[in-house]
Amino acid sequence: MSTLASPYRFSDQFYAGARACIPVCISVAAYGLVWGVLARGAGLSLFEVAMMSGLVFAGSAQFVALDLWTATPATLPVGPLVIAALIVNLRYLLLTATLRPLYPDKGLWRGALSMYLVTDENWAMTVGAMARGGGSVAFLLGGGALAWISWMSTNLIGYGLGSAIDDPARWGLDFAFTATFLALLLGMWKGRSDLIPWLVAALAAIVTSHFVDGSWHILVGGLAGSLVGAWIEVRKHVHQS
């Protein structure tokens, strides 16, 4: 694999990536339980739960799918389910684009297959490591593997329990994502030039989440903030030269 050229062994980086994702995987597990319970209520079979979590492996898209799911196959809205997954996951275009520097120029198609294991969680940990000069494909995959195991196992447990499980918010576990991502963001601070892009991203996301449900705020905020950041940076270089 591509990491042969790096000074690190694949397994070392793989475990380091998995360890780095433990804080966010607590949140993944809490929501995994809830999804499992709701999936049973929505009428999915155990086999369908395992298939969807194993193959689709995208939390927010799977929560949206439960809203659309019907227990009787004849009325199952196949087209809307697929389109909803597409729309909810559009933000991944931004996320995986930033992982490009981890991959060698040759064999990028094989790298594209490894994108299957990219989630918000291991993506965030990996770009955090990249900002400190680290990060590797193995690190990304280690975190992805841990997230996959956390998601799949808690989905199945939640499905098995079936009864009402507490809302993760009651235990503050909904905040585990937010707190970890906030700390990662602070770790990425490089100087005052980050302030305006981050504020633009935050404001655009807040406004979008106010008016539109789903994950649109991530895409809109991410696009707005990064484009403003690039625009400021390029304009500064023109003025200097």
User: Binding to other proteins (CB under 8 A): which residues in 146-165?
Assistant: none
**Residue 134 is which amino acid?**
G
Asked whether the beta carbons of 135 and 126 are under 8 A apart, the reply is yes
Q: Pick from 4, 5, 74, 164: which binds other proteins (CB under 8 A)?
A: 74
Which residue, 161 or 182, is less far from other proteins as judged by CB? 182
Min separation Cβ 22 and other proteins, Å = 7
Rounded to whole angstroms, how far apart are CA atoms 107 and 4? Answer: 14
The answer to whether residue 33 forms part of the interface with other proteins (CB under 8 A) is: no
Q: Which one of 5-13, 22-30, 32-40, 150-158 is the stretch in contact with other proteins (CB under 8 A)? A: 22-30
Rounded to whole angstroms, how far apart are CA atoms 21 and 144? Answer: 8
The answer to whether residue 24 forms part of the interface with other proteins (CB under 8 A) is: yes
CA 16 from centroid of its chain's CA atoms: 18
Per-position b or e across 150-162, b if 16+ CB within 10 A of its CB? bbbebbbebbeee
According to CB under 8 A, which residues from 80 to 119 bind other proteins? 81-82, 85-86, 89-100, 103, 108-109, 111-113, 115-116, 118
Min separation Cβ 8 and other proteins, Å = 20
Which residue, 158 or 168, is less far from other proteins as judged by CB? 168
Which residue, 8 or 103, is less far from other proteins as judged by CB? 103
DSSP state of 136: -
| Residues contacting 150, CB < 8 A, separation 6+ | 25, 28, 29, 32
- Counted residue by residue, the chain has a size of 241
Min separation Cβ 21 and other proteins, Å = 10
* Secondary structure E strands in the chain: none
Min separation Cβ 191 and other proteins, Å = 12
User: Torsion over CA of 114, 78, 64 and 222, rounded to 10 degrees?
Assistant: 50
The answer to whether residue 8 forms part of the interface with other proteins (CB under 8 A) is: no
Min separation Cβ 52 and other proteins, Å = 5
Min separation Cβ 125 and other proteins, Å = 8
Measuring CA to CA, which residue among 65, 70, 27, 50 is closest to residue 155? Answer: 50
User: The tokens of 198 are what?
Assistant: 């981050």
The answer to whether residue 183 forms part of the interface with other proteins (CB under 8 A) is: yes
Over the window 184 to 223, marking each residue x when it contacts other proteins by CB under 8 A and - when it does not, the resulting string is xxxxx-----x--xxxxxxxxxx-xxx------xxxxxxx
